[in-house]
Structure 1
């Protein structure tokens, strides 16, 4: 829970920050443990994973980090991260429920709101106002919603060569 609260406050996970270059991150964490199968315009993959931590990069040429995703749905009781002080795989004593997450955010002073664009059918999402980190919950037919993903993805930037100036 402390990692999720820190993510909610800062929009970053340890050394992983949106806007940084992937190469700078790999100098700290080493090469990604896995990569996505889709590639961007530069022929490189744009999804990289370190256990439950997934990083999305620019799909053009700069390899700038554009999204951070903590996948929790498929690993309800085991969580794997490459962070200093983290023992690689950590077992969680209980599911990360909606109530546990919002209580932790409230206790940390993180202002949050329901996020209607990603709340439908079997999922509900909340958004931390200051960092724009989103917490997506799977809503079961019975029982309390459980955290499926925590993510942040600021608006995409423009990279590559500047467009030709418009003639006057």
Structure 2
């Protein structure tokens, strides 16, 4: 059976030259077929630091990538003769942030970051090669502050869902 490691080079070649990067690929059995799940993200390039929000992928970008990836898989023999179902999307908000580029693409969003010292929730205002910077809102017991956390100290980090941002200029 084809594995994610054998499919990855085919997908990366199909996306070469696009503004997208392959974030993750999984191949799993589903009855008489397989499901190939592909997670894509915007290619930020080789940047030192990100301080501005990154635009999310549009439906047109995902559709174009789906066509390119599907054609590449069909043209190669990496999946063999068994049929497959292709699912292409961008990473969801509940997915843990594990790589510097995951943090860089989420600048401007509210994060919950767990370290050995505890949990901190704050707005991600910058992400560079070494760590992230959060603006932590004031509470009844603490004043507002800025927290810088090296990636090596992050045990878990996730984006928090916000239905309405209080500081969003579009809401004013």
Normalising by the smaller structure, the TM-score range is under 0.3
Taking structure 2 as the reference length, the TM-score comes to: 0.22
Work out which of the two has the higher radius of gyration on C-alpha atoms and give 1 or 2. Answer: 2
Taking structure 1 as the reference length, the TM-score comes to: 0.22
Q: Which has the higher strand share?
A: 2
